[in-house]
Amino acid sequence: MKDVIVIGDMILDIMVNEFTCEMHKRKGTAMKQPAKLAAGGDAQNAASTMGRLGLDVALIGRIGDDDAGRMCLSMTGRAGVDCSHVVVVPDGVTSTCVSLVQNGEASGLYHRGENDRLTVDDIPVELFADTRFVNLHSLWSLPMLDPVCLFKKAKEAGARTFADTDNIPKNASLDDIDEVLPLIDVFAPSYSEVVQLTGLREPEEMIRVLLQKGVKIPVIKLGGEGCIFAEEGKTVKLPGYSITVVDTTGAGDNFAAGLTYGLCKGYSLKDCCRLGNASGAITAGQLASNGAVTSFMQLQEFMIRQDGCGVGGEEGR
């Protein structure tokens, strides 16, 4: 049985750190650090980290039969991800993004490529009967994919479902996803995304509204402040970890990977969210959205240094 089937964006990222607005005014500028190539995109980031953590994970997305696509398959395959169900389009174009990072935040120049053509018909839904989780990364990112249809098929097959959000249209609201929310077991948007969707400002009130909408386990990412989640009718807030921020790109995707890992391994929801916080923090401390998290033991050691204890009762000495 697969632990997770991850569905969504696949992008080849070209990361440039310490970018300044003055750079584009000069014909040539020497960089202090080399640019970095990485397999990016919400789904590819999450799946790669899950693979490195040791989950049995498959990735489903669309790429072109081009150099960028082949690099994505190579890098993601080396992370331990099953890429055999990725749709490779002979005349297609793989999505690419040039990310210019300044003061820990990235501005991207991107081409969506085959990501915008992914549909439910591209997904071998018969696989859902033999997987624990079906993860969609993310709502609103895939304009031709029907999340209601996708998650109905996942639930009919007995799989649990996970979703987060990205690329939310300016005037979108929770009403736009009323039909899909009750089909989501674990919903993990960011605080700013829920503000946009609801107009609410208090995380506890956000959690209450998501529960009312039918989400089984709402988890709201609070960036450097950690996260907040609901358990047994109560909201629990976990603080973030102390790091030096280099690049926050992909921190939310890696949070999702750590959270999903914990759920697959049967940890308490609190420990699952601690794993998510740790995975996101480690990612934000390095350049690029993928590759900073290398193993479960790395997460354990990080949490022991910061909290005095890991998950599963392991404590520092």
């749709």: which residue's tokens? 87
Radius of gyration of the chain (CA): 19
Structure tokens at 133: 């989780």
| pLDDT on residue 317 | 40
User: What number of other Cβ atoms are within 10 A of residue 104's Cβ?
Assistant: 16
- Written as tens digits, the pLDDT of the chain (317 aa) is 999 999 999 999 988 876 665 655 566 677 777 888 999 999 999 999 999 999 999 999 999 999 999 999 999 999 999 999 999 999 999 999 998 877 766 777 889 999 999 999 999 999 999 999 999 999 999 999 999 999 999 999 999 999 999 999 999 999 999 999 999 999 999 999 999 999 999 999 999 999 999 999 999 999 999 999 998 889 999 999 999 998 888 999 999 999 999 999 999 999 999 999 999 999 999 888 899 999 999 999 999 999 999 998 766 54
What is the spatial distance between Cα 259 and Cα 271, in angstroms, rounded to a whole number? 8
Contact criterion met (CB below 8 Å) for 184 and 210: no
Contact criterion met (CB below 8 Å) for 135 and 2: no
281-296 in b/e form (b: 16+ CB < 10 A) is bbbbbbbbbbbbbeeb
Structure tokens at 22: 């003055």
What is the spatial distance between Cα 208 and Cα 124, in angstroms, rounded to a whole number? 35
Contact criterion met (CB below 8 Å) for 181 and 214: yes
Region of residue 236 (phi > 0: left; psi between -120 and 50: alpha; otherwise: beta): beta
Contact criterion met (CB below 8 Å) for 38 and 75: yes
The pTM of the full predicted model, rounded to 2 decimals, is: 0.94
**Residue type, position 151, single letter:** F
What is the spatial distance between Cα 124 and Cα 225, in angstroms, rounded to a whole number? 38
